[in-house]
Amino acid sequence: MENKNNQIPQKLRMASFAILATLFMPAFCFSQITKDTTYLNEVVVTASKTLQNKGNVTQKIDVISFRELKSIISGNRNVAEAIQYLPGNAVSVLSRNDANWGTYGGVGPKYSTYMLQGLPIDAFVDPMGIELNAVDRIEVQRGPASVLYSNYLSQDFAGNQCPLSGTVNLVLKEKIDSARTIIGLSGGTYNTINGSIYHQNRFGRLHLITGLSYEKSDYTDYGSQGSWLNMIDHPEYNKGKLFLGLNYFLDKEEKHKLSFFANGTLHTGDAGRPNRGYDHQYKLVNFAYTYKINDNAALNAKVGYRNYDRSWQEDNFSNTSLTLDDRLKLASDNGVVQTIIPADLSFSWKHLKNSTLTAGVDFQTAKYETWGKAVNMDKTTGNDASANQTGIYAQEEFRIADLIIRGGARYNIISYNITQLGGSEPGNKSQSWNCFLWNAGLKYNTKFGLSPFVNVGTSFMTPGLKSIGGTIALSDKDVPGKNGQLPNPDLNPESGLGIDAGFDMRIKESGMFTARVFQTTVNDAIIDNVVSQNPSQTQSINAGKTTSKGFELSLKYKVTEQIEVFANYTALDTKITNKIDTTQDGAQIPFVPANVTNLGFTLNLPYKIKVVNYIHVSGKMYDSSNKYGRSEFNSHETVNMNISKDIQLGKKQTLSCFLNLYNITNNKYLMPWQFQDPGFSFMGGVKVEF
C-alpha cells in the first residue's frame, strides 16, 4: 500500500530553495570574523548533573538558548518542534491537538526522554503543555543517557520511555536580575487568537517567574482525503497555560537553595464533529533542594508530581446503516487518568582538580487507569494498574589534562501491580524485573581545536501497560469505529545498546563543525505496528531486533554580529530482524526517515529588524513494520520564517512586532494514521516589555 503526497509544483519548491541559497551567499562572502565563543563555551548540566563547559563532557550536547527559542516557529504549538532543526531528530507532530511521533537517533519516539530540570516528564504529553516562557534553554544530549537518568513510567501513548538514544532537558530560568513584564497579543490563520503575560521579579533572596497564556482557534481539517477522522466541521480548540517558578536562597552565600515550579494546562475542543469533544488537563510540579557543602561537593534532592487527565467522546459516525443524525449522536465518553511521582537524590564531588564523581538514587511510582461510559450505561474501568521503579547509579568523569575518561553504572528494580486489564481481572497480577546498566566515554581536546569522542551505553525497558492491555479489546480488531490500541499481553521487555563516535572542530573563534556516527540496537524491540488505517488501530509487538545506523554532519557559524548560519544532515539506515514473521524481517523501523536535512540563518538588519529562516527536509518513511501492508510517505520539506522588529519606547520599555510564516511552500504532506499537514499558516502580533 502506498500513499502519495499532495505535491506542490516542483518549480515552486526549487524557487524557494534558490531564494534561501541567495540569502545564504552573502553570509559566506564576509571576511571579517567576529571574536565570539557562543558555540564553544556554553555551560551545560545534563551530561553529569553539575554545571560545566560542554567541551568538558564526552557526550554530544546541543543547546537551544532562550534567544533562539523566541524565533523558532512552532506551527503545532509543541515544544518538540523547537528541537527539530538539530541533527538526529525527525519531529512528526500530527496536529495542534496531537503528540509528536517523530524519531530520536533512528529508533522511534520512546527512546529519548524529556526532562524538566533533570526530572523526567512525558515525551508525548508535556511538550504540548509546557509554557516556553519559563524555559531559559533546552539542552539535548545525543547518545545514551540511561545511567544518570531513569526511564519514565508513562503508560499512555507509546508506553514507557528510556534515554537510550538521548534525552531532552528543559532548563528553567532561575536567577533574576531585575523586574520585567512582557505582554503579548497575536492572531493569525484559522481565526487563531493568542494572548500571554510573563512577569519576573526579585525580592531579596527570592527569585520569581510567573505567566499565563491562552489560545483559541477555529482550526482546520488535518485529515487526509477519506481519513477516518471524518471531520464535517472545523475542529475548535482552547488551550490555557499557567506557570509559577520560585527560587529561594536560604543564606547570603547561596549555599542552600529551595526551588519550586508548577505548570498547568487546560486543553479543550472537538475533533470536527458535534460529539467528538475532548477535555485534557495536565498538571506538573517540581520541588528541589540544593546544598553546596563546599566548593567541591554538593547535594541535590528533587521530587515531582505529574498528573495527566484526558477525556474524549465517541459518536456512531462509522455505523453507515444509521441516519446522519443518529451517526452524529454521542455513543460514549472515555478517559485516562495517570499520576506519576518521580524523585531523585544525587551527590556530586569534584576531586583531583577537574574530575567529578556523581552518585545517587532515584525512585518513581505511577498509577494508571482508563475508563469508559456508554450512553445510558454505568461508568466502567478498562485498565487499573500501578508501577514502581527504584534505581541506584554512579558515574565518574576523570580528567587527565585534556583527556576525559567517563564510566558509570546503574541498577534498576521495576515492578507492576495490575488490578484490571482490558476490563477484566488479569491472569498475572504482578510482575517485576531487575536490570544492570552501564556506560563509558572518552574525549580528547587537542590544542588545535579538534576534539574526538566516543560513547557507549545500555538501556532496559519493560512493556508499557497500554502495550500489554491496549485501549480497546482484542475482539475489536477491524470493527468500524473502534479506534485505538489492541492489547498484546505476551510482550517481552527490551534491552538496548547505543554507540557513537565523532569529533568537534572549532572554526576560528565563532564556529563549530561536528561529525558523528552512531549505532543503536534494541533486542526484543517493542514497536507500535499499524494494523488498520480505517479504523485506526495499532498494536505493540516484539520485533525481534531493531538496528539503527547513521551519521550526522553539523555546522554552526557566526559570520559577523549580524549574520549567523547553521546546516546539518543526518543519514539513517534502519532494519528490523524478525525470523518468526517474514512480513517484518528486513523492514525499516516505522516513523524513521531515511535522511534529514536542516538549513537556517539569522540576519540582524538595521533598524533592529531581525529575520530568521529555517528549512527542514525529511526523507521517506513508513508507518508499519509490515513490508506488504505498510504505507509509504515520500520526502517533504517545510520552510518557516520569523520576521521581527523592536521599537524602543523608553529607557526600559520596548515594543516588538513579529510575523511568523509557517510552511511557506504550502506543502500539505501526508503523515501516519491518515493525518496531513494543513499547509501554510501565519501568526502576527506585538509584545510590550517594560
Q: What is the pLDDT of residues 406-436, one digit of tens each?
A: 999 999 999 989 888 778 776 667 888 899 9
User: Would you say residue 509 has pLDDT above 50?
Assistant: yes
The torsion of the CA quartet 478, 479, 484, 490, rounded to 10 degrees, works out to -60
Specify whether the CB–CB gap between 527 and 622 falls below 8 A. no
Overall average pLDDT of the 77-96 stretch: 92
Give a yes or no: residue 542 inside a domain: yes
pLDDT at 360: 98
Give a yes or no: residue 574 inside a domain: yes
The grid coordinates listed for 293 are: 557543602
- Confidence class for position 469, pLDDT limits 50, 70, 90: low
Q: DSSP alpha helices (H): ranges in 535-680?
A: none
User: Would you say residue 5 has pLDDT above 80?
Assistant: no
- Confidence class for position 648, pLDDT limits 50, 70, 90: very high
Give a yes or no: residue 5 inside a domain: no
Specify whether the CB–CB gap between 160 and 154 falls below 8 A. yes
Q: Among 26-40, 111-125, 154-168, which range has the highest average pLDDT?
A: 111-125
Nearest residue to 228 (alpha-carbon basis) of 536, 442, 5, 600: 536
H/E segment holding residue 393 = strand 380-400
Asked which of 160-164, 262-266, 476-480, 650-654 is least confident by mean pLDDT, the reply is 476-480
| pLDDT over 90 percentage in the chain | 69
pLDDT at 255: 93
Angle of CA points 306, 308, 314, to nearest 5°: 175
User: Would you say residue 54 has pLDDT above 50?
Assistant: yes
pLDDT at 8: 40
- Separation CA 286–CA 262 (nearest Å): 6
Overall average pLDDT of the 98-117 stretch: 89
User: Would you say residue 301 has pLDDT above 80?
Assistant: yes
In this predicted model, which residue has the larger pLDDT, 10 or 102?
Answer: 102
pLDDT at 267: 97
pLDDT at 567: 97
| 582 CB-near residues (< 8 Å, 6+ apart) | none
**Residue the block writes with cell 468500524:** 480
Overall average pLDDT of the 10-21 stretch: 43
User: Would you say residue 151 has pLDDT above 70?
Assistant: yes
Asked which of 191-195, 288-292, 373-377, 622-626 is least confident by mean pLDDT, the reply is 622-626
Overall average pLDDT of the 425-449 stretch: 88
H/E segment holding residue 22 = helix 10-24
Give a yes or no: residue 146 inside a domain: yes
In this predicted model, which residue has the larger pLDDT, 93 or 578?
Answer: 93
User: Would you say residue 520 has pLDDT above 50?
Assistant: yes
Whole-prediction pTM value? 0.90
pLDDT at 308: 97
- State the total domains in the chain: 1
Q: Among 11-20, 31-40, 342-351, which range has the highest average pLDDT?
A: 342-351
- Separation CA 113–CA 499 (nearest Å): 17
pLDDT at 428: 67
- Confidence class for position 476, pLDDT limits 50, 70, 90: confident
Query: What are the backbone angles phi and psi of residue 349, rounded to the nearest 5°?
Result: -140, 115
pLDDT at 11: 40
pLDDT at 21: 43
Overall average pLDDT of the 483-498 stretch: 84
| 18 CB-near residues (< 8 Å, 6+ apart) | none
Q: Which residues pair with 455 in a beta bridge?
A: 441, 500
In this predicted model, which residue has the larger pLDDT, 561 or 363?
Answer: 363
pLDDT at 488: 80
- What are the percentages of helix, strand and coil residues in the chain, rounded to 5? 10, 55, 35
pLDDT at 629: 82
- Confidence class for position 464, pLDDT limits 50, 70, 90: confident
Asked which of 160-164, 305-309, 530-534, 563-567 is least confident by mean pLDDT, the reply is 530-534
**SS3 track for 169-198:** EEEECCCCCCCEEEEEEEEEHHHEEEEEEE
pLDDT at 482: 81
| pLDDT over 70 percentage in the chain | 93
User: Would you say residue 529 has pLDDT above 80?
Assistant: no
Domain that holds residue 635: 10-689
Give a yes or no: residue 3 inside a domain: no
Overall average pLDDT of the 640-656 stretch: 94
pLDDT at 468: 72
User: Would you say residue 7 has pLDDT above 60?
Assistant: no
Give a yes or no: residue 483 inside a domain: yes
Asked which of 154-168, 209-223, 466-480, 529-543 is least confident by mean pLDDT, the reply is 466-480
Asked which of 191-205, 249-263, 514-528 is least confident by mean pLDDT, the reply is 514-528
User: Would you say residue 202 has pLDDT above 90?
Assistant: yes
Nearest residue to 154 (alpha-carbon basis) of 391, 337, 280: 337
- Separation CA 596–CA 614 (nearest Å): 13
pLDDT at 526: 75
Asked which of 170-179, 547-556, 625-634, 635-644 is least confident by mean pLDDT, the reply is 625-634
User: Would you say residue 636 has pLDDT above 90?
Assistant: yes
User: Would you say residue 479 has pLDDT above 90?
Assistant: no
User: Would you say residue 14 has pLDDT above 70?
Assistant: no
- Separation CA 245–CA 274 (nearest Å): 38
User: Would you say residue 10 has pLDDT above 90?
Assistant: no
Q: What is the pLDDT of residues 574-596, one digit of tens each?
A: 998 887 778 888 889 888 999 99
Nearest residue to 229 (alpha-carbon basis) of 278, 271, 275: 271
Give a yes or no: residue 2 inside a domain: no
pLDDT at 653: 94
pLDDT at 28: 40
Instruction: Tell me the CATH number at 677.
Output: 2.40.170.20
User: Would you say residue 550 has pLDDT above 80?
Assistant: yes
Give a yes or no: residue 628 inside a domain: yes
pLDDT at 530: 78
The grid coordinates listed for 295 are: 566548593
Asked which of 12-26, 439-453, 644-658 is least confident by mean pLDDT, the reply is 12-26
pLDDT at 88: 87
Query: What is the average pLDDT score of the chain?
Result: 89
In this predicted model, which residue has the larger pLDDT, 174 or 473?
Answer: 174
